[in-house]
Structure 1
Amino acid sequence: MHSDPNLYDYWPYQGRPKIKWPDGKKLAFWIAPNIEYYEYMPPTNPLRQPWPRKNPDVVGYSQRTWGNTVGHWRLMDLFDKYNLRGSISLSIGLIDHHPEIIEAVAARKWEFFSHGIYNTRFSYEMNEAQERAVLEDSIRTVEQATGERIRGYLAPALTHTEKTLDLIAEYDFWYTCDLFQDDQPQPLKTKTGKLVSMPYSLEVNDVITYSVQGWSPERYTELLINHFNQLLKEGEKSGTVMCIPLHAYLVSQPHRLACFEEALKHICSHKDDVWFTTGAEIAEYFRENYWDQSLEDIKSRGVMTGGTGFAPTR
């Protein structure tokens, strides 16, 4: 068994080919609200429990319901105020449960990408046919509801199989949010396609700061501003990416939202230097302008762990 999964090459940060975002912007900023649906009585999985407490967990279920009933609408109003488009990490099943949310998001020209069918159904133990069915369902259902072909993927509850990345590349997804190895896009080593690892930070994810770390809203705002300032500074040499992953049931709480707005206000005050965009637009721009250049640089450094960026030898 290999000690390295060979998903990507070791690619030192310093000295890479310079990335220039559109109009000379230094930092590509995208924001990813997770609109999730949690089943009240989800099926059991031998490797992971769907709720921290025993099923049924009416407390956890109702908290997530609040996010879709109240929190998401509050968050959309805030984004409208700053003319920001979200890239929605979508539990595909939510299209059937809350079509009003989908209609409101689509009307704003936000992006959708797949976060599996339900966030209570894990990829663990799925066979290839089952995983293909999830991807095909995701593509078909979003296209029928919105006319949009989804290009991004975040595995449900960050659960994977050994085939996940190869499969999403085969289905012509452009980017995955499941890896956290970089602050710039990077080519992944899949059997087919051109799949980009998109920066999607766990460090600034509100699930981590609020649910895991238990931070105050003020500390979260400070974290976001410091994170942005550092990436913007580095973006003077080569374009960086910042993503803020959000969950309406957390960040949209009445005592948190105004403080979060202070971070958005700071970021949006740098319009001359920041490309406000979506995950799909970043991935498309990188694939079209920097894919081949990145592979050549990796190869020239002699640090490839196997494969060429298209067909790995796993």
Structure 2
Amino acid sequence: MTENLKACLKESLDVYDYWAYDQRPRIEWPGGAKVAFWVAPNIEYYELDPPQNPSRKPWPHPHPAVPGYSIRDYGNRVGHQRQMALLDKYGIRGSISLSTALCEHHPEIIQMCKERDWEFFSHGIYNTRYTYGLSEAQERMMIRDSMETIHRHTGQACAGYLAPALSHSEHTLDLFAEVGEELFGAKGGLYTCDLFHDDQPTPVRVRSGKRFISMPYSLEMNDTIVYAVNKVEPRQYSTMLKRHFDRLYLEGAESGTVMCIPTHNYQVSCPHRIKAFEEALEYITGHPDVWVATGREIADYYMTHYYDAALDSMTAQAVSAGREG
């Protein structure tokens, strides 16, 4: 193993500690809720003929990649409105994982979300341009551009980040926290959705020392993983969402949990799939003791009420296990 690889591995392992699920301070969400529930619509922009990246091809087809591009265009033309109407029906404000180029390409979509007081967080600029191969300075520039674009078009200080097409470097979390602090002070750069490692928010170390957390964002419940990768039928997806919620609701009676449904307007909003999503939303929001929130609201509440206790608990467990230092 090269020294550079060892250093990268050590840095990745130092992002967060092992922290046993059943040995943590109890979380209680507002109003005594057992589950903090949020929906994260990925509203993305894909280029028909993007710049090539040596690490990853944007399309499985040669140029022009009409099938992949057009279904994603369908999502922004048709699917978004269909999903938005459904979230309105159940009183859910979306937390948008946004390809920020959409602000320029489809500002009308941004306006509809603003009118509903949805949250906007960064998903990079285009979902066909990856972090792979970028220098640290280039990645910083990309992250800054995306956060500044959100602020310019919405007035929001961007709190969250999901790397474009889930592409990362060893500096991604550090850079997002740093740029958020530079642009917006304590209000910017608060959480990542890229770790997928827990059902509760957890503190994450970044090199600036900023207070920063991982927000539960489930790949297992992500509609693209469900439909395009695992080839699940819509009726089974509805059942999966309900069962996922049932378990988190049960455990949330002991300590509050977080459920996220990550969606894509070209997946969940297709006519033959939308009913399954609606059935799940009706089921989840029909339960008492569910806090329907945005990602930022959950992050703010956790960091205000539980972040310090979480750090103390993590340190105590590390000392007990002989991992300290």
TM-score class, shorter-chain normalisation, is: over 0.9
- CA displacement, residues 264-296 of structure 1 (integer Å, 9 cap, x when unaligned): 0000101x3111001111111111111111010
- The answer for the alignment partner of 1:296 in structure 2 is 312
5+ long unaligned stretches in structure 2: 1-5, 181-188
Counterpart position of 2:201: 185
Q: Does 1:52 align with 2:60?
A: yes
Displaced runs of 4 or more, over 4 A: 303-307
Who is 2:299 aligned against? 283
Separation in 1, partners of 2:237, 2:191: 27
Superposed CA deviations along residues 181-235 of structure 1, whole A, max 9, x for unmatched, are 1000000111121111000000000001100111111000000000000000000
Query: Residue 255 of structure 1: SS of its match in structure 2?
Result: coil
Aligned to 2:113: 105
Quote the residue 1:130 is aligned against: 138
- Which TM-score applies when normalising by structure 2? 0.92
Moved more, 132-141 or 155-164: 132-141
Contact 1:9-1:305 at 8 Å conserved across structures: no
CA distance in 2, matches of 1:144, 1:166: 23
Give the AA of the match of 1:211: A
Contact persistence 1:10–1:305 (CA under 8 A): no
Q: Specify the alignment match of 1:119 in structure 2.
A: 127
* TM-align CA RMSD: 1.3
How far apart, CA to CA, are the structure 2 residues paired with 1:137 and 1:287?
Answer: 26
- 1:156 counterpart residue number: 164
Superposition pairs of residues 8-47 of structure 1, within 5 angstroms: 8-47=16-55
Higher helix residue share: 2
Partner Cα distance (1:191, 1:15) in 2 = 27
1:74 and 1:107 map into 2 onto residues whose CA distance is 16
Residues 183-222 of structure 1: pairs in structure 2 closer than 5 A: 183-192=199-208, 193-222=210-239
The aligned length equals 306
Identify unmatched segments of 5+ residues in structure 1: 308-314
Identity %, equivalent residues? 55
Q: TM-score scaled to structure 1, two decimals? A: 0.95
Contact 2:315/2:324 (<8 A) preserved: no
- Partner Cα distance (1:306, 1:89) in 2: 36
1:145 aligns with 2:145: no
Match of 1:81 in 2: 89
Q: Classify the secondary structure of the residue corresponding to 1:18.
A: coil
Residue 229 to residue 124, structure 1, CA distance change in 2 (3 Å): same
Q: Report the CA distance between 1:136 and its aligned residue.
A: 1.4
